[in-house]
Amino acid sequence: MQDSIRAVSWTDAGIALLDQRQLPHRAEILVLNTVREVAEAIQRMVVRGAPAIGITAAYAVVLAARGRYAADASRWKHAVAADLALLAGARPTAVNLAWALQRMAALIAQLEGDPGPPLLAEARRIHAEDIAANHRMGELGAAVIESPCEVLTHCNAGALATGGFGTALGVIRSAFTAGKIRCVYADETRPWLQGARLTAWELLQDHIPVKLIADGAATYAMRQGKVRWVIVGADRIAANGDVANKIGTYGLAVSARYHGVGFMVVAPISTLDLGIAHGSHIPIEERGADELVCLGERRVAAAGAGAWNPVFDVTPAELIDVIVTERGVVRAPNREKLAALIATETPPNRA
């Protein structure tokens, strides 16, 4: 299985991001050296996907700390706080960004001397742990699928959205290898078309059969019996199991329940936000009208048309059959089950 797609990697020259706005036409790598560049790259969706954003931000903290330490070794910790704040504000919905920054900040608080090497080691650990978690979730999620079937995914929760391998697409990769998936229906996922541009590309790299559908065709596909499972990622999971994910996810969950189709959310523990009691409190990013009234440079809608462009929505826990994390599978998720999961020790990685 493809494990070589890397949305983000650390190089001696800086943070290397695969510019996802150019895929699948061009695999262009941008190498960034400043926190401001990285924050802008996150905001402009050069890199996207909750875990990938978190990893990118962790590496950006290395850049920030190095620069601040070089400028003033006695006051760098104070100065670097502004960099962390800048990164934290780049996008509001995915919690992995804040999670990675908090983990880096916790280490910063303990450091003495040159912060570069220990912070780089920590960022690399965050990255490696994410990849390992994806492989573990792949195994666990694939085990939930009982027999060969077709599945539907939304947006891109693949190698491109993570440190590597993917969350939802990690499960799909593992289940395909195990002979449990025959074909993947991929929502094209307007307005950014992550399904058409990214998910189809990723799956084709691994020779997994993929059929694109218009987002509006998903419910009809379920009616036609074409789909046994909907498998998606998550940008933030509230303590009660409500899941924020790409706009359109909630509609899929409503339709899946109506048709008796399984609904699986795949996300690492870093996506769980116990500080948010209920999904309704998750901040939902709204982006500009341009993403809807224009296609690329070209205006599609008549001048004067308004738009409402929330780019995430919240799926209530009661519509979710399974949440798959690297620590285990939670069926019919709720506050108690998620609290118990968090309280468990991380099992030894079997991969």
Residue with tokens 């996150």: 42
Q: Is 235 a catalytic residue?
A: yes
| Shorter beta-carbon distance to a second copy: residue 63 or 161 | 161
CB of 56 to a second copy, least distance (A): 24
Cα separation values, 225 from 149, 220, 262, Å:
10, 9, 12
The answer to whether 306 contacts a second copy (rule: CB under 8 A) is yes
The answer to whether 218 contacts a second copy (rule: CB under 8 A) is yes
CA-based R_g, the chain, Å:
20
CB of 248 to a second copy, least distance (A): 3
The answer to whether 292 contacts a second copy (rule: CB under 8 A) is yes
Cα 237 from chain centroid (whole Å): 12
The tally of CA atoms less than 13 A away on the side-chain side of residue 25 is 2
The answer to whether 242 contacts a second copy (rule: CB under 8 A) is no
The answer to whether 221 contacts a second copy (rule: CB under 8 A) is yes
CB of 198 to a second copy, least distance (A): 9
In whole angstroms, give the CA distance from residue 189 to residue 212.
10
How do 312-315 and 243-246 pair as beta strands? antiparallel
Residue with tokens 């079997």: 350
The answer to whether 40 contacts a second copy (rule: CB under 8 A) is no
The answer to whether 200 contacts a second copy (rule: CB under 8 A) is yes
| Shorter beta-carbon distance to a second copy: residue 131 or 184 | 184
| Shorter beta-carbon distance to a second copy: residue 121 or 295 | 295
Which of these, 330, 169, 319, lies nearest to 251 by C-alpha position? 319
Among 78, 125, 182, 211, binds a second copy (CB under 8 A): 211
At residue 3, the 3 state secondary structure works out as coil
Of 83, 130, 187, 235, which residue is the catalytic one? 235
Cα 54 from chain centroid (whole Å): 9
Among 83, 129, 187, 242, binds a second copy (CB under 8 A): 187
Among 10, 59, 69, 250, binds a second copy (CB under 8 A): 250
In whole angstroms, give the CA distance from residue 187 to residue 119.
38
* Number of other CB atoms surrounding residue 140 within 10 Å: 21
CB of 206 to a second copy, least distance (A): 12
Among 302, 343, 348, 350, binds a second copy (CB under 8 A): 302
In whole angstroms, give the CA distance from residue 207 to residue 338.
35
The answer to whether 27 contacts a second copy (rule: CB under 8 A) is no
The answer to whether 105 contacts a second copy (rule: CB under 8 A) is no
CB of 349 to a second copy, least distance (A): 32
Q: CA quadruple 32, 34, 38, 44: dihedral positive or negative?
A: negative
Amino acid at 215: D
CB of 40 to a second copy, least distance (A): 24
In whole angstroms, give the CA distance from residue 74 to residue 80.
12
Residues that bind a second copy (CB under 8 A): 24-25, 154, 185-191, 193, 196-197, 200-201, 204, 209-221, 223, 226, 246-251, 254-255, 258, 289, 292-293, 295-296, 298-302, 304-310, 313-314
